[in-house]
Amino acid sequence: EEEALIQSEKLSVVGQMAAGIAHEIRNPLTSLIGFSKFLKTRIDSYHDYFDIMLVELDRINSIVQEFMALAKPQANQFRQHDLIKIIQSVLTLLETQAIMNNVELKAAYNVDSAMLLCEENQLKQVFVNVLKNAIEAMPKGGTVSIVLKSSGSRNITVSITDQGIGIPKEQLPLLGGPFFTTKESGTGLGLMVCYRIIEGHHGKINISSHAGKGTTVTISLPKNG
């Protein structure tokens, strides 16, 4: 118990630092991306090199963004939000990516009320990360179902189930560790950010998976934050 407490405190200090550094990297990075794009249009040769630079800069950009999401949610940014609306806006955001990958996103909202004390943008980040993983797990397409349920009078759960490649048993303990990725261009930071944010909301994440069949990520959140 005590060790767990110390661990989560450590994580928040590291998280704060990472977010701070990421913030500092963002501005110079934005100008590097901007000038590389500009030079590519002005210089007639070396376009291949510019393209490589832009791909790599984009990769730095995604890492920076994921680290920025680690910033500890401020207590005063917590407000009452409708979880259904949060999920709907994330689904709209990912619609194009889903269609391009032959993936259907199906949502069922089995709740009377989904009002939640939360930090809206951080929860959006969580659902974006989890849904992207679900889409990326289905190279041949398929269905992702998102189910909202009340769990007792105090909690809401959202489960996100894909029909993808699944996760081998021996990798389950590694999920959410920094830089654990099995993808060629993955950052291995998405789930870490999810765990960090859900922890900040006093919620829980559970991941169950069958290799070759699919994965379910269940996020449970207390209504009062």
- Can you give the binding site for ligand ADP, defined by CB under 6 A? 129, 133-134, 137, 162, 164-167, 175, 180-183, 186-191, 215
Question: Minimum distance between the CB of residue 196 and ligand ADP, rounded to whole angstroms?
Answer: 11
Question: Minimum distance between the CB of residue 75 and ligand ADP, rounded to whole angstroms?
Answer: 26
Distance CA 65, CA 187 (A): 11
Please, which residue, 125 or 215, has the CB nearer to ligand ADP? Answer: 215
Partner in contact with 210, chosen from Mg ion, ligand ADP, none, beta carbon below 5 to 8 Å by kind: none
List contacts with Mg ion (CB under 5 A): 133, 190
Please, which residue, 68 or 134, has the CB nearer to ligand ADP? Answer: 134
Please, which residue, 187 or 220, has the CB nearer to Mg ion? Answer: 187
Please, which residue, 164 or 190, has the CB nearer to Mg ion? Answer: 190
Q: Secondary structure of 3-26 in the HEC alphabet?
A: HHHHHHHHHHHHHHHHHHHHHHHH
> In this structure, are residues 116 and 221 in contact, taking their beta carbons and an 8 Å threshold?
yes
User: 109: which residues sit within 8 A by CB, 6+ positions away?
Assistant: 84, 87, 148
The residue count of the chain comes to 225
C-alpha separations of 173 from 71, 167, 168, 206, 208 in Å: 24, 11, 10, 11, 11
Question: Minimum distance between the CB of residue 105 and Mg ion, rounded to whole angstroms?
Answer: 16
